[in-house]
Structure 1
Amino acid sequence: MSNRLLVLYGSYRSDRMGIRLAHFVVDGFRARGDDVELIDAKEVGLPMLDRMYKEHPKGTAPAALEKLARQIREADGFVFITGEYNWGVQPGLKNLTDHFLEEWFWRPAAIASYSAGRLSGARAATAWHGTLSEMGMVVVSSTIAAGPIAHTLSAEGMPTGDGGNALQAAFPRFADDLTWWMEAARTQRARKPPPY
C-alpha cells in the first residue's frame, strides 16, 4: 500500500531556491511508489491568520481552507520544507500550518531544511521540531539539509556536486524513517481510535 504524503513548502520570495529541495523530496518519494502532493503556501495563498479552519462555522470556511483541511486529514504523513529566516522559521509556511490544528493530529512529520549558507537551515529545522510536536505530529528523528542550496541542487531539484551527493545518500534513511512511522500510525489509527 502506498502512503499518501504532503510535502509543504512556504517561501513567498520571487527567486525561491527552496523549491529545488521540495522537488527533490517529491521526486524521491514518488520514486518509492508513494502518492505525493506538493502544497506550496504561495500558491494556496491563505491570508495572515485571523481565524483557524475550526473557528469557521461548518461549511463556511473559504474554499482554499476547506480543500487544504481535507488534504491534511487524508494524508498519512508530512514533509515540511523549511528555509531559515534570521535564525527562525519562514512566515509563509508557519502561517499555513497555523490555520489548522486537529487536522494534523496522529500523523508523523519529517523536516527538510535549506539555506544559502553552510548551515543548511539547521536552526529553522530545530525550531520546527517543537512547533510540529505541539501541533500533534510525531516528528521523526531523521532530517535532510541542503546548503548552500544553489550548489547542492539544480533548478530542477537534481543533486549537484558533493553536497548533492551527500543529500542523495541521506535521503533513503530519511524516507525509511518517515515511512515506518506513517505505516505504524496508520495501523494504530485503524486498530483503535485516537484518545482525543
Structure 2
Amino acid sequence: MLNLQVIVVSTRDERKGPLIAAWFAAQARRHGQFNVEVVDLAEVDLPLFDEPRHPRLRQYEHEHTRRWSESVHRADAFVFVTPEYNHGTPPSLVNALDFLVQEWAYKPVGYVSYGGASAGLRGVQMTKQITAALRMVSVVEAVAIPFFTQHIGAETGAFDPGAVQERAAAAMLDELLKWAGALKPLRG
C-alpha cells in the first residue's frame, strides 16, 4: 500500500488546520488505498532554512533536516492542508519545501485549502510553482473550502464541510493514487 502524508501547513497559535487535516485524514482512511500519516509542521518545528550546502546534495548537517528528510522520503504522495497568507503560500510551507529537493521529486501532491471567499486558492496557485520546480506533480482535483469556520461544530469543535467536500476529497484521493503508482518507478 502507498504512503500518503497529510501535512498541516499552518503553525500559528489557535490555528484550525489540525481540525481540517483530521477530517481529511479520516476521508483518506475511509478511501482505503493509502497508509495515512498526518504530519504537522508546527511539530516538525524546522528553523528557517539553515543547511550550509544545497539540499540537492543531500549532505545534511543538522539532525532536524535528517529527520525531515526521512519523513518526506517515506511518503509516496502528499496532501497539503493549507490556508493562504497575504494571497500566497504560508512561509512555513515554503521553508519546509526548501529544506529538501530529491525527497519531493516524482511524487504527487494534492491540496486541501481553506480560507474566506477565496478558500486559500491563491496560495495554492503560488505553491504549485514551487512544487513544479521540485519535480512534484500537482493533481488537478482539489478540496477548496471557503468560509471554513462555518463548518466547525459549536458544541463538538469537529470539522465537517459536508458531502460536496467529501466527494471532492474522494476524487482527489483517486487521482493521487493513480499518480503515486505511476511515478513510483521514476524514483528508483
- Which TM-score applies when normalising by structure 1? 0.84
CA distance in 2, matches of 1:181, 1:56: 26
Kindly indicate whether residue 74 of structure 2 is the aligned counterpart of residue 77 of structure 1.
no
CA distance in 2, matches of 1:8, 1:53: 23
- CA drift at 1:43: 0.7
Q: Which amino acid aligns with 1:142?
A: E
CA distance in 2, matches of 1:95, 1:110: 18
The answer for the alignment partner of 1:95 in structure 2 is 95
Q: Which amino acid aligns with 2:65?
A: L
CA distance in 2, matches of 1:189, 1:57: 18
Structure 2, unaligned runs of 5 or more: none
CA distance in 2, matches of 1:156, 1:178: 26
- Which TM-score applies when normalising by structure 2? 0.88
Kindly indicate whether residue 28 of structure 2 is the aligned counterpart of residue 47 of structure 1.
no
- 1:145-160 map, 5 Å: 145-154=144-153, 155-157=157-159, 159-160=160-161
- CA drift at 1:83: 0.5
The answer for the alignment partner of 2:183 in structure 1 is 185
Q: CA RMSD in A?
A: 2.1
The answer for the alignment partner of 1:170 in structure 2 is 168
| Residues 113 and 144 in structure 2, CA contact (< 8 A), matched pair in contact too | yes
CA distance in 2, matches of 1:57, 1:132: 18
Sequence identity of aligned pairs in percent? Answer: 27
CA distance in 2, matches of 1:7, 1:145: 15
Structure 1, unaligned runs of 5 or more: none
| Residues 9 and 93 in structure 1, CA contact (< 8 A), matched pair in contact too | no
Give the total of aligned pairs.
Answer: 183
The CA deviation string for residues 139-193 of structure 1, in whole angstroms up to 9 with x for no partner, is 1111111121111344333x14xxx33211211111111111111112x338xx4
Which runs of 4 or more aligned residues in structure 1 lie more than 4 Å from their structure 2 counterparts after TM superposition? 55-58
The CA deviation string for residues 47-94 of structure 1, in whole angstroms up to 9 with x for no partner, is 111226738984x63333212211211211111111111111111122
The CA deviation string for residues 26-61 of structure 1, in whole angstroms up to 9 with x for no partner, is 111122232111111111111111226738984x63
| Residues 107 and 185 in structure 1, CA contact (< 8 A), matched pair in contact too | yes
The answer for the alignment partner of 1:124 in structure 2 is 123
